[in-house]
Amino acid sequence: MQTSRLRPDIQGLRGLAVLAVVLDHAFRWPVGGFLGVDVFFVISGFVIATGLLRERARTGRIRLGAFALRRVRRLAPASLAVLVTTVTAAWFLLTPSRLGTVLTDALWSAGALQNWRLAAEGTDYFAATTAPSPFQHFWSLGVEEQFYLVLPILMVVLLGRGTNPGRTRLTATVLGVLVLCSVVWAFLAVSADPAAAYFSTATRAWELGLGVLVALAALRARGRSVRPLLGEGMVVVGLVAVSASVLIGRESSGVPAPLALVPTAGTALVLLAGSGSGAGPRAAALLRWRPLVGLGTISYSLYLWHWPFILLLPLVAPVPMPVVVALALVTAIASHATLETVFRRPGLRRTLRENRLRVQLGGLAAMTVLTVVTTSFAAERVRPLPAVPAAAAEALPAEDEAFPTLRARARDVAAGAGARTWPADLTPSADAISASGYVDSLTKTSDWASTLGCSLIGADWRSDGCVWGPEDGRTTDVLLTGDSTGAFSAPGWRALAEDSDARLRVRNGAQIGCPFSTTALPSDTESCAAHNAEVVDELERTEPELLVVTNRFWDQDDPSLESIAEDDYASGTRDMIAAVREHVGRVVVVPATPPGYAPVSCVAGTRGPQDCRSGDEVARTQIRALTGLLADVQDTTVLDSTPLWCAAGSCPLVIDSVLTRFDPVHTTPEASVASAPALLDLLRQGDVLPGVRRSSP
């Protein structure tokens, strides 16, 4: 059996896996990049079991103490460096309450129990609206170390002393049964509690166990290579399985089961195909490519360092993500060359004496680079927006004097764009939006739950609790629809409906994760299609005077804004509006808050309001494109909502002490309510509201 340390294809496979994970975390591509961890699990199970089996073949037994020492030398130095460095950086960058959470996460991570903490907290790995822990990625290390507390003991008991083939078969049988049980449990757990299932040791053990079974199969082959043609086919099928999963796999399919079955099976095929005594299949040449092998060699350090860099550097300045990744890569190289390599050598004391300066310098560089970089970026901001003229609020056309709330809003926006410090009474607070489960609490337990809860999947949005305002024949019937951006605008619409002067009766038909569109997005479910069918049915039945649509109208990952007219997201909304147009008096498309920086990276860090302003170019380009797209749909208006959020091209994150967004795109409920009176004036200004006269000066 080939020594795993001499197999460059394994290192190349590690390189592919860590590349997928880092790209996914940094750039949200590839969509299935998170499955790189599953590839790691199988490789880890194979490599560890191979080492234990080789030790038994050589000495007749497995020494548990020696195994534990090897694991500590392999993992502890780099992981402790990351823990210390990240906590140090967090001390300077985070708010006290969030720092407390990070310190707790560090302790759980140091004890290889972070996955249990995340599962107990109900953490959603895929949630884009909460602030993740800089130690969240330690969950996978916890799973591995917990597995390796059990595996050596199990192998000692099952294999016994010597090299009895019958004991090897018994071990394979028992492990096979345990792997099968873990797979079944994974399916059941994903259905019952997908968030906890993602981090559970029990639902992940089968992946590492699969690697152990491959090692046992390779041992049984006694060094014989797989038939050449079969081996080539196994590698090709395996690489296709891994690549396809990473490129198109989505969490909605169920993680770890059934989605992880494909990449783990593919990894097992590649490992088994190269386990003979020969040079290995030619089809694995890609995996033996030196840059990929090099990436695999530093994969452990890169996995450890990349996530704190991605989370903490943006707290100082809007550092370009390629720069963040490059800095993490350099740090990983230094970490591997010192903290990993030196501590793994035999004769540790002598090695440390001989390499003392190397260890000290390399360790110091790896442990301080994050804080040094953050302070350097603090002095050199990335292209701040120009200052907002003090008279920006007075730049409104004279006719807008008929709308006092709109003018007052413009003054508040201009003041926010010119602010130099964060307000002491910020609402919601930095601690609130940084808390784990913030969005979940908004929709289920907060004071906003009665409004936002109407937009949850499966909610009875047709009930009386989801319609607001009087029904006296003098009101304008409004139906609000759209996805989560529409759902988080609902508090403002409710505030207007409950204001007797607005004379609106509003029903909330927006649903989180469900755009009002004929185009099925990758994350769409059958419940979304059913909800849109219900909305259409409601429109046909009630024929409201006004349909309000607030959607994700474009692909936010597509930098080519010029092609929006051909974009399926926008055209799908256009087709849906055209299909129901005859059943409503008028349609108004209200774009959500202009996108910008993640608020947590601003208000919870060292950056000031001037550094966290965003421009209105993206929003205005999209509004122009939508206006052209809907030009031929009768009585349909695309509202230019940028005056609610921007002044002189600058969109502040905080307006009148209210945080406008809780993530890059979603409006806070407080901001929705605060902007509602000005929104009403915008609608009146454009004669969008039927039967409503302009307000008096």
**Residue pLDDT, tens place only, 116-136:** 999 988 888 876 556 788 999
Residue 104 has pLDDT above 90, yes or no: yes
pLDDT confidence bin for 113, thresholds 50/70/90: very high
Topology annotation, domain 436-595+616-650+669-685: Rossmann fold (3.40.50)
Residue 595: count of CB within 10 angstroms of its CB: 16
Phi, psi of 196 (to 5 degrees): -70, -35
Listed in sequence order, the residues at least 6 apart from 455 whose beta carbon sits closer than 8 Å to its beta carbon are: 443, 461, 484, 486, 487, 490, 508, 510, 511, 512
Minimum mean pLDDT among 208-217, 502-511, 525-534: which range?
A: 525-534
Instruction: Write down the mean pLDDT value for the chain.
Output: 85
Residue 43 has pLDDT above 60, yes or no: yes
Residue 382 has pLDDT above 60, yes or no: no
The secondary structure element, H or E, covering residue 480 is: strand 476-482
Residue 616 has pLDDT above 70, yes or no: yes
Burial environment of residue 405 by CB neighbours within 10 A (0 to 12, 13 to 18, 19 or more): middle
Q: Record the tokens describing residue 521, joined without a space.
A: 């997005």
Residues 626-652 as b or e (16 or more Cβ within 10 Å = b): beebbeeeeebbbbbbbbbbbbbbbbb
Q: State the average pLDDT over residues 381-407.
A: 56
pLDDT of residue 347: 57
- Lookup result for tokens 């302790």: 107
pLDDT of residue 411: 94
Q: Would you call 479 helix, strand, or coil by DSSP? A: strand
pLDDT of residue 598: 76
pLDDT of residue 323: 93
Residue 304 has pLDDT above 90, yes or no: yes
Higher pLDDT, 142 or 557: 142
The Cα 646–Cα 658 span in angstroms is: 14
pLDDT of residue 353: 53
Neighbouring-strand partners of residue 614: 651
pLDDT confidence bin for 351, thresholds 50/70/90: low
Q: State the average pLDDT over residues 204-215.
A: 97
pLDDT of residue 379: 39
pLDDT confidence bin for 28, thresholds 50/70/90: confident
Q: How many residues can be counted in the chain?
A: 697
The Cα 220–Cα 464 span in angstroms is: 68
Listed in sequence order, the residues at least 6 apart from 277 whose beta carbon sits closer than 8 Å to its beta carbon are: 1, 2, 223, 224, 225
The Cα 659–Cα 427 span in angstroms is: 6
Would you put residue 635 in left (φ > 0), alpha (ψ -120 to 50) or beta?
left
pLDDT confidence bin for 4, thresholds 50/70/90: very low
The Cα 682–Cα 668 span in angstroms is: 20
DSSP states of 150-197: HHHHHHHHHH-SS--HHHHHHHHHHHHHHHHHHHHHHHHHHHH-HHHH
Q: What is the pLDDT of residues 264-287, one digit of tens each?
A: 999 999 999 988 766 678 888 999
pLDDT of residue 500: 83
Residue 82 has pLDDT above 50, yes or no: yes
Q: State the average pLDDT over residues 47-69.
A: 92
pLDDT of residue 119: 92
Residue 495 has pLDDT above 80, yes or no: yes
pLDDT confidence bin for 1, thresholds 50/70/90: very low
pLDDT confidence bin for 467, thresholds 50/70/90: very high
Angle among Cα 680, 682, 685 to the nearest 5 degrees reads 110
The pTM of the full predicted model, rounded to 2 decimals, is 0.75
pLDDT of residue 103: 93
Residue 428 has pLDDT above 70, yes or no: yes
Residue 401 has pLDDT above 80, yes or no: no
The Cα 652–Cα 436 span in angstroms is: 25
Higher pLDDT, 356 or 190: 190
Q: Record the tokens describing residue 124, joined without a space.
A: 């959603």
Minimum mean pLDDT among 239-243, 339-343, 509-513, 531-535: which range?
A: 339-343
pLDDT of residue 192: 92
Q: State the average pLDDT over residues 5-27.
A: 92
pLDDT of residue 39: 98
Residue % of the chain over a pLDDT of 90: 57
Q: What is the pLDDT of residues 535-562, one digit of tens each?
A: 999 999 999 999 999 987 765 544 333 3
Residue 436 has pLDDT above 80, yes or no: no
pLDDT of residue 621: 86
pLDDT of residue 377: 44
Residue 383 has pLDDT above 50, yes or no: no
Residue 350 has pLDDT above 70, yes or no: no
Number of H helices, E strands in the chain: 28, 10
Residue 651 has pLDDT above 90, yes or no: yes
Q: Which among 168, 149, 148 is positioned nearest to 53, based on CA atoms?
A: 168
Q: Record the tokens describing residue 308, joined without a space.
A: 């704190």
Q: Record the tokens describing residue 246, joined without a space.
A: 């990473």
Higher pLDDT, 475 or 674: 674
Q: State the average pLDDT over residues 475-491.
A: 95
Q: Record the tokens describing residue 276, joined without a space.
A: 């003979």
Q: First CA to last CA across the chain, in angstroms?
A: 87
Burial environment of residue 77 by CB neighbours within 10 A (0 to 12, 13 to 18, 19 or more): buried
Residue 11 has pLDDT above 90, yes or no: yes
Angle among Cα 317, 600, 141 to the nearest 5 degrees reads 95
pLDDT of residue 595: 87
Neighbouring-strand partners of residue 654: 659
Listed in sequence order, the residues at least 6 apart from 133 whose beta carbon sits closer than 8 Å to its beta carbon are: 101, 102, 105, 118, 436
pLDDT confidence bin for 203, thresholds 50/70/90: very high
Listed in sequence order, the residues at least 6 apart from 401 whose beta carbon sits closer than 8 Å to its beta carbon are: 407, 697
Minimum mean pLDDT among 131-145, 390-404, 566-580: which range?
A: 390-404
The Cα 435–Cα 447 span in angstroms is: 17
- Lookup result for tokens 């029903």: 507
Tell me the chain's radius of gyration from C-alpha atoms: 29
Angle among Cα 34, 40, 41 to the nearest 5 degrees reads 105
